[in-house]
Structure 1
Amino acid sequence: MIKVLLFEDNKNFRQGLVLFLAALEDIWLVEAIPDARDAVYLVKKHKPDVVLMDIQMPRKSGLEALVEIRQAQPGAKVLMQTVFEDDDKIFQAICSGASGYIVKCPDPQVYVQAIREVYAGGAHMSPGISRKVLAMFQQQFVKSEQTFVDLTNREREILGCMVKGQSYKMIAANCGISFSTVATHVNHIYEKLHVNSAPEAVVKALEMKLV
């Protein structure tokens, strides 16, 4: 079961998501909080598999909370929520260690899919965010000395879908394979690229011109 900790200041939205997630067998919402002041304490207390964090929060922003959570719990998987696709804030969130982002919508299934993907090790990024992350890496880090990666045709196909910002569900549909098979291929891609997340994989794919 996937343990989820929710930080969301909109009462109606928060309560609606709580009711929907409560009906699922594979997701356990341990607590839903209206602000992020005690985010680090609550993450340490509940040890969630996925933290669902709104970027725009009262008293302490979701971005501030993200940084504090990642400093206290480096392995925490934090899925950020935004009202609009604000590239600058999403880019800042990814650079601060977010495992992915989701644009708020009335369909709770979108959240369920995103939570499951992040839990499985995936993330969702738009092409615009991918380019910004690549530019940041090029400016601040020495390029990898790795010049050859032995990816299978299927792995290259899936990596290309990741660069386009496709979700696991979209990749599965486009490639005609199951969600779990996509997750397995992505894990193999991570191993071969020596990375630990989708943003890192996308950066390396673009940097090495693998797709």
Structure 2
Amino acid sequence: MSIKVAVVEDEKHYNNALKKIIDNDSELDCVAQLYSGAESLALLKEMKPDVVLMDIKLPDMSGIEVVSRVIDNMSETKFIMCTSFEDDAHIYDALKTGASGYLIKGETMDKIIASIKDVYQGGAPMSFGVAKRVLQYFREEKTIVNQQLNDLSKTEFEILELLAKGYLYKEIAEIKQVTIDTIKKHVSNIYKKLHVNNKVEAINILKNL
């Protein structure tokens, strides 16, 4: 059975070129050519293709907005952004919204075909430069997290570890031989230093160390 692909691209020549290479592959079938955000919103949820090649700069709205508005009703569909935008903001907004891949226009047609098949199998295809930016982002995030944890006092770090193990405030107070109010003050300081609002967020930072 062929992989059903929809192309959302307002530049007609490029849209037609994508359709041609998709249909030339025996494993793929271009089931729709769409040219605007409104058209995509009206048709994609009904068609539910396996993969959508989505441009970001559409004449009426961002392709990222389109993805954000349809993805909850298209849980089985994979979205690959295919765009000329290579800046951090567009990349992270697209991936955070739910896109599974991000290709820069200018990639070879072979790369595009391989990416469609890859994302259908559960992969996350990206152009080389995009992948480097994403990797750098996570490295920087890890550095920030490490610094935040280093800002905790020894006692605060120990309390955070006990919280992560499932201990209650009362139990931690008994272990540390202090009052529950003292533990609550320590926890409040932990939240401030880690820039989080609750225990779950604080524990997640520790787990991602």
- TM exceeding 0.5: yes
Question: Deviations along 1:115-155, whole A, 9 cap, x unmatched?
Answer: 1111010103513223436739x6774554996xxxxxxxx
Deviates more, 1:16-25 or 1:6-15: 16-25
TM-score, normalising length from structure 2? 0.63
Gaps of 5+ in 1: 148-206
**Using a 3 Å threshold, how does the CA distance of structure 1 residues 144 and 10 change in structure 2: closer, same or farther?**
same
Is 1:130–2:144 an aligned residue pair? no
Contact 2:7–2:18 under 8 Å retained in 1 = no
Gaps of 5+ in 2: 146-194
Deviation at 1:61, TM superposition (A): 1.1
Deviant stretches of 4+, over 4 Å: 138-147
Structure 2: distance between partners of 1:122 and 1:65: 21
Q: Secondary structure of 1:38's match? A: helix
Is 1:55–2:62 an aligned residue pair? no
What does residue 17 of structure 1 align with?
18
Deviation at 1:109, TM superposition (A): 1.2
Give the root-mean-square deviation of aligned CA atoms.
2.7
**Using a 3 Å threshold, how does the CA distance of structure 1 residues 38 and 133 change in structure 2: closer, same or farther?**
farther
Equivalent residues in 2 for 1:48-87 (5 A)?
Answer: 48-87=49-88
Q: Secondary structure of 2:38's match? A: coil
Deviates more, 1:70-79 or 1:15-24: 70-79
Deviation at 1:18, TM superposition (A): 1.3
Q: Secondary structure of 1:121's match? A: coil
Contact 2:5–2:52 under 8 Å retained in 1 = yes
Structure 2: distance between partners of 1:142 and 1:78: 31
Q: Secondary structure of 2:113's match? A: helix
Equivalent residues in 2 for 1:1-211 (5 A)?
Answer: 1-105=2-106, 107-125=108-126, 126-132=131-137, 135=141, 141-142=201-202, 144=204, 207=208
**Using a 3 Å threshold, how does the CA distance of structure 1 residues 124 and 130 change in structure 2: closer, same or farther?**
farther
Structure 2: distance between partners of 1:105 and 1:77: 21
Question: Deviations along 1:57-111, whole A, 9 cap, x unmatched?
Answer: 1112101101011133234311101214222101110011111100111621111
Deviation at 1:40, TM superposition (A): 3.3
Contact 1:50–1:76 under 8 Å retained in 2 = yes
Q: Secondary structure of 2:15's match? A: helix
* Counterpart amino acid of residue 94 in structure 1: L
What does residue 149 of structure 2 align with?
none
Structure 1: distance between partners of 2:31 and 2:17: 15
Contact 1:95–1:133 under 8 Å retained in 2 = no
Contact 1:69–1:76 under 8 Å retained in 2 = no
